[in-house]
Chain A
Amino acid sequence: MSVLLQASGLCQQYTTGKTLFKHPTVVRAVDSIDLEIREGEIAGIVGESGSGKSTLGRMLLGIEPPYRGELTWRGAPMPAPGTPEWRRLRREMQLIFQDPLAALDRRMTIADQIGEPLEIHGLVPREAIRNRVSELMGKVGLRPDQAGRYPHELSGGQRQRVVIARALAMAPKFLVCDEPVSALDVSIQAQVVNLLYDLKLEEGLTMVFISHDLKVVRNLCDRVVVMYLGRIVEEGPADEIFANPRHPYTQALVSSVPSAGRGHAKRILLQGEPPNPASRPSGCAFHPRCHLADAACKAEAPALIRDSHRLAACLKLRAAPNQDQVREIHA
């Protein structure tokens, strides 16, 4: 698979709390991310709130210029926001948010909303728009008689289908889905997840799927990136990462998900809260909550080390992959 999008050394920081009496604090939301998105794959980004996953998603789309680092799209650098080249690229990249009601205009019928990007970009002759819209609606599983409805007349799952149809209007190559199913009920969530999977198969779409729901990510994504405080701590194929997590944070995250009918089996209960990005711990950011951490973890920030086709950033793994511990969790 060829690389569609490549990020190297991507950083984003925000300055907050600047007042007359207070020095501004710099919050590093995303820190030195190296990431490849390959054509035709669904890459999952998981992590807790404040881990920088949404910021990374927006940067991958080029709608938020990075503070530092580079982004290339099909080998060429991402054009600066607002330029005509950048605008042309918008057609190929789309974003889907968590809350479809907020993403839709409640005074426009859904057919008008799905057709609006076609009109703006002028890709389809005006008289052909109606046909294209009904084709798109069919693709996402909306009935033709729903074309004249307004967003409030649809259910949550149907609204999310409208948002997806609108994103597909430009025949994009790349889709960033930021928690697209988190607000939906479980039975509807499965419908939307399957729709996204079918779009990947049928349209050859490349996707970044941002979610905190590990179960959905495991069943949908090909590859998973685990983030903690703005950095990637582990990366690898979805089935392997969840069956055999290597980084202590991923291990805790996987074990924290109670399974239906059995509850928690063997579980690593993390102490403390996810730390504030504004006061990032020294060395490995995870060390205050890690049961394996020692003095070295406090002093040295671990790099992402490749081990065959998987990546992990942990000093303990570099010494000797702690297989016993891994076995213990999955016993």
Chain B
Amino acid sequence: MSLIWIKDLRVSFDGVQVLHGINLQVGKGESIGLVGESGCGKSVTWLAALGLLPQRAQISGSVTLEGRELVNASRGELEQVRGGRIAMIFQDPSSSLNPVQRVGKQLDESLRLHRGLSGATARAEAIRLLDLVGIPSAKTRIDLYPHEFSGGQCQRIMIAMALAGEPDLLIADEPTTALDATIQAQILDLLATIRHETGMAMVFISHDLGAVSAVCDRAAVMYAGRVVEQNHIGELFDNPRHPYTVGLFEAIPELQGPRRRLQPINGTVPNPRHLPRGCAFSPRCAHASDFCRSAQPALLQQPDGGQVACFHPVRDPRRTFSPASAELAA
């Protein structure tokens, strides 16, 4: 049975619909990546699931955590889930931490709220958590303020706070985007280790396909408020079916292989106020037919275990999307 099950989740802000029916399941201990460009709704999906969107957001559909409904749940119920069952970390750690409170005190608060620890036990646990996430000399540094730590260390502290409630699911929203390359590698490594040790599930939201490949088992690609493709990491990258997924992969330069001219996706992400008719990707898609411009493809189960929402899925993407002109003129 899946840990969390999102069914037909729709969100609109002031009458502008930004999520158009998201269906997603996360199993126990599973790590799933959510990729897509800015504005595609990958963060909104989870903010909506946790009841963290502002009042003016209209939410419909269902999000169940082991059978318990979270959409329109009472504040008390949600507060038990948030932090305790599902924890979330964000892109910018320094703005998530309270700058005028010592790190230890902020960890204490989580431990008191979610685990009922206090005093010396809470402090010992806080030190253990800081050790776990790799803060050097945690015993002496627990009483420092957030500004006395570097960006990478602040993200480690955020992870420690998220772990304080012993959650079943960690939602990491672009956790490494603001960090330097070598620090990003450290944090990805830490997330993988912690998941291995605690068996918690993870949703990793990122536009960095490399980072997603490093820590996830499965990934869902989102475009304009819909999931357009979903599959296991290996399958998804070896054999992407949706033209947007293929375009996304082609647009990202590689560190290996011949140097080449990048392959951009023409056009821009559509404005949610003026979504094109039919498939939202059709104006940018080389495969689009008249049918694509009038009807909306559903996300359908594929024989290889994945799901694709496209009327003309790509068969052999490497051949179709790598014209000879891609090689750089010397």
Contacts and interface: CB of A to CB of B under 8 A. Distances in A.
Q: Do A and B share a complex?
A: yes
Interface of A: 48-49, 155, 157-158, 185-191, 193-194, 197, 201, 212, 214-216, 218-219, 238-239, 242, 252-264, 267, 269-270, 273-274
A216 B182 CA distance: 17
B214 A264 contact: yes
A188 B256 contact: no
Nearest to A263: B214
Interface in B148-194: 150-153, 180-186, 188-189
Given A258-B210, A259-B213, A264-B188, A190 B181 contact: no
16 contacts: A49-B180, A185-B38, A187-B247, A190-B251, A190-B264, A218-B255, A219-B262, A242-B255, A256-B181, A258-B214, A259-B256, A260-B209, A263-B213, A264-B214, A273-B152, A273-B153
Interface stretch (B18-26, B122-130, B230-238): B230-238
Contacts, number: 132
Given A260-B249, A270-B186, A253 B181 contact: yes
Contacts of A258: 185, 188, 208, 210-211, 213-214
B180 A261 contact: no
A256 B152 CA distance: 15
Q: Is the interface of A mostly helix, strand, loop or mixed?
A: helix
B89 interface: no
B68 interface: no
The 5 closest A-B pairs by CB, nearest first: A261-B237, A258-B210, A263-B214, A190-B264, A190-B262
A194 B182 contact: no
A239 B256 CA distance: 9
Contact of A48 (B180, B233, B252, B253): B180
Contact of B181 (A191, A216, A257, A261): A257
A258 B215 CA distance: 10
B225 to A, nearest CB: 15
Chain B contact patch, size range: 35 or more
A273 B181 CA distance: 11
Given A186-B252, A194-B261, A261-B213, A274 B268 contact: no
Interface string B214-239: 11000000000000000001101110
Contacts of A238: 259
Contacts of A191: 264
B213 A215 contact: no
Contacts of B17: none
B277 interface: no
Contact of B210 (A194, A254, A259, A274): A259
Contacts of A218: 253, 255, 259
Nearest to A193: B262
